[in-house]
């Protein structure tokens, strides 16, 4: 149990520290609001797409293709978000649109590209290759869901139509890079060394820059209503989501590594990419930033407990 706890802490705690580094740098004046805003744009348009491209490009999708597994992952992602969104209409019906979008976005969207895949690889090795395959489906769904959610609840009064959604999806950098990565992987197209190294360099900046900028935007206003919304959203993300998917996946017949992959992909903290997208489209930055920090801290313990439970039950 202690090994699993330290395993999770070693993965998650550096991310927490980076966010607090950003917070400290902003408070002592070494970085500004303009730096944080520009950093968010660089992460959204370059670093995170490059990270997604690398994950998919380096996986042999044709060898690990499992249609049943992909369908379940896709259906769960769509339905779980729909349920959270519907419940939020009831629980937060009188709250600001930006608070609703931040609550839902933080509760369903996990940091699968940056955190789930490394955890799966360290825990399962080659047996966890399906994680990269599921990523190709889930990341597309995540971005479409977030675009719809954030546009409908944006306080910038954006209008969502079928054509505007299609344009937003087609122009969304993560989706574009995922599509290109799938094409390259299936056609066995090899990047020249300089291009591969460039993508790798861009990918490596995604986590540190995103978290430093997130920390720079982080404020603590006390245990007010907004903090509670972020806390409730965080509990949904790191506790209800992984337990829920584990139960339904087990009932659907998934066992062993498949069940473990699904659990981990739903147990990781809220996505930094979701926070960056929320900042770009319009949403409550305080709730979103607090949600990412809380889920990152909480998942160090909840994920280790879930891994321990899976080991005890012989699933892993």
Dump pLDDT digits (tens) for 173-193: 877 888 888 888 888 888 899
Task: Return the domain boundaries, the chain.
Answer: 2-312
26 three-state secondary structure: helix
Residue 260 Rama label (left phi>0; alpha psi -120 to 50; beta): alpha
Please, which pLDDT band fits residue 156 given cuts at 50, 70 and 90?
A: low
**pLDDT number for residue 7:** 67
**pLDDT number for residue 14:** 79
Is the predicted pLDDT of residue 285 greater than 60, yes or no? yes
**pLDDT number for residue 310:** 86
Please, which pLDDT band fits residue 214 given cuts at 50, 70 and 90?
A: confident
Residue 16 Rama label (left phi>0; alpha psi -120 to 50; beta): alpha
**What percent of the chain has a predicted confidence (pLDDT) above 70?**
88
Overall residue count recorded for the chain in this entry: 316
The residue-averaged pLDDT of 275-302 equals 82
CATH of domain 2-312: 1.20.1530.20
What is the distance of C-alpha 121 from the center of its chain? 17
61, 184 in Cβ contact below 8 A? no
174, 7 in Cβ contact below 8 A? no
**pLDDT number for residue 262:** 94
DSSP state of 218: -
Is the predicted pLDDT of residue 303 greater than 70, yes or no? yes
Dump pLDDT digits (tens) for 110-128: 988 767 877 787 777 766 6
Q: Of 186, 194, 197, 204, nearest to 56 (Cα)?
A: 186
pTM: 0.80
Give long-range contacts, CB 8 A cutoff, 24+ apart: 204-207.
205/42, 205/43, 205/47, 206/43, 206/47, 206/48, 206/50, 206/51, 206/114, 206/272, 207/15, 207/18, 207/114, 207/272
Please, which pLDDT band fits residue 259 given cuts at 50, 70 and 90?
A: very high
Please, which pLDDT band fits residue 304 given cuts at 50, 70 and 90?
A: confident
**pLDDT number for residue 94:** 64
213 three-state secondary structure: helix
Within 10 angstroms of residue 200's Cβ, the number of other Cβ atoms is 15
């Amino acid at each position: 149990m202690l090994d699993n706890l330290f395993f999770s802490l070693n993965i998650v705690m550096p991310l927490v520290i980076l966010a607090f580094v950003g917070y400290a740098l902003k408070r002592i004046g070494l970085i500004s609001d303009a730096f944080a805003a520009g950093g968010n744009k660089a992460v959204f348009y370059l670093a995170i797409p490059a990270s997604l491209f690398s994950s998919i490009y380096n996986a042999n999708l044709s060898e690990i293709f499992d249609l049943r597994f992909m369908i379940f992952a896709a259906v769960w992602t769509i339905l779980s978000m729909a349920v959270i969104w519907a419940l939020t209409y009831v629980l937060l019906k009188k709250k600001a649109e930006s608070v609703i979008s931040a609550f839902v976005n933080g509760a369903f969207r996990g940091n699968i590209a940056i955190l789930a895949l490394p955890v799966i690889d360290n825990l399962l090795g080659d047996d966890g290759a399906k994680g990269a395959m599921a990523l190709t489906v889930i990341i597309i769904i995540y971005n479409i869901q977030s675009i719809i959610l954030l546009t409908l609840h944006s306080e910038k009064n954006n209008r969502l139509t079928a054509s505007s959604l299609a344009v937003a999806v087609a122009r969304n950098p993560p989706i574009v890079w995922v599509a290109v990565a799938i094409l390259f992987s299936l056609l066995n197209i090899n990047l020249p060394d300089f291009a591969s190294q460039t993508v790798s360099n861009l990918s490596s900046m995604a986590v540190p820059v995103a978290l430093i900028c997130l920390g720079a935007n982080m404020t603590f206003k006390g245990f007010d209503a907004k903090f509670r919304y972020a806390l409730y959203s965080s509990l949904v993300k790191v506790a209800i989501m992984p337990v829920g998917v584990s139960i339904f996946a087990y009932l659907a017949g998934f066992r062993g590594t498949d069940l473990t992959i699904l659990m981990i992909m739903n147990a990781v903290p809220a996505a930094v990419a979701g926070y960056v997208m929320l900042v770009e489209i319009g949403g409550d930055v305080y709730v979103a930033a607090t949600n990412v920090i809380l889920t990152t801290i909480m998942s160090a313990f909840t994920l280790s407990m879930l891994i321990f439970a899976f080991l005890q039950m012989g699933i892993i």
